Amino acid sequence: MLPDDSVPRACNDARVTESTGSEPVRVLVVDDQELFRRGLIMLLGGDSDIEVVGEAADGVTATDLAVKTAPDVILLDVRMPRRTGVEACRAIKEAVPSAKIIMLTVSDEEADLYESVKNGAAGYLLKDSSIEEVAQAVRVVNEGQSLISPSMAVKLIDEFKQMSKPEREQGPALRLTDRELEVLRLVAKGLNNREVAKELFISENTVKNHVRNILEKLQLHSRMEAVMYAMREKLLDLP
């Protein structure tokens, strides 16, 4: 696992970050399979630092419930009736920007992964993950980090490579200052805020401000999207 200001890595990273807040992480569980949903709720309920504040069986109800409960983290299936998980992800991020969304699904399709990240998901886990992995994902995503299943991480990097087009003009990037471009390149290479600050001889808070400005200028939702953007615009080269 790694901070959201660096390239997403596999969820079995040896580094583990526990929730530091005194209040439990408030979670909304969304899945159209009642047995799976209820089982997940029961298991998550065994952790004192996680509180399930609601459940939904479709994307429309999930969006409405997210607005009413304002959860910290939402566990969201991709394949759902009335409104797909990806559509719900986009709607929820528009209505409740502070909510962190983790897609929890059986889908290992690259398209679902890419569309989820593009629409604001901070994590992507497959349903064969252990309950400990899901609970830990809730904690680290709540802290502003990104997380992705190991098998999907490889596919995301492959997607970056496919999106990289030499002939594409870098017009939007021209809106960024030279310093912001430097920060974006380093973030896309996997450096966290502290490492970027050390590399550029600036403060960590200054790096955070640059990252926020980059996301605002490029109208992106997350640092993972910023990495995708950097690859698409050929701001750095992959081997």
Q: Tell me how far apart the alpha carbons of residues 184 and 228 are, in angstroms, rounded to a whole number.
A: 11
Q: Which fold has domain 164-232?
A: Arc Repressor Mutant, subunit A (1.10.10)
| 8 A C-beta contact, residue 68 and residue 80 | no
- Written as tens digits, the pLDDT of the chain (239 aa) is 333 443 344 444 433 334 444 789 999 999 999 999 999 999 998 888 999 999 999 999 999 999 999 999 999 999 888 889 899 999 999 999 999 999 998 887 777 887 888 888 888 888 888 888 899 889 988 887 777 776 666 666 565 555 544 444 445 555 788 898 888 888 776 677 888 899 999 998 998 898 888 888 888 777 777 777 776 666 655 44
Q: Tell me how far apart the alpha carbons of residues 59 and 41 are, in angstroms, rounded to a whole number.
A: 18
CATH numeric code, 2-158: 3.40.50.2300
Model pLDDT, residue 118 = 81
Model pLDDT, residue 32 = 92
**CA-based nearest residue to 102, from 69, 65, 129:** 129
String of DSSP letters for 102-171:
EEEES---HHHHHHHHHTT-SEEEETTS-HHHHHHHHHHHHTTEEEE-HHHHHHHHHHHHHH--TTS--T
Model pLDDT, residue 140 = 83
| 8 A C-beta contact, residue 89 and residue 76 | yes
What single letter denotes the amino acid at residue 10?
A
Model pLDDT, residue 16 = 37
Model pLDDT, residue 1 = 38
Model pLDDT, residue 14 = 33
Model pLDDT, residue 229 = 73
The domain ranges of the chain are: 2-158, 164-232
Check the CA dihedral 155-156-161-167 and report its sign.
positive
* The two domains 2-158 and 164-232 share their CATH topology (first three levels equal): no
Model pLDDT, residue 156 = 62
| CA–centroid distance for 199 within its chain | 25
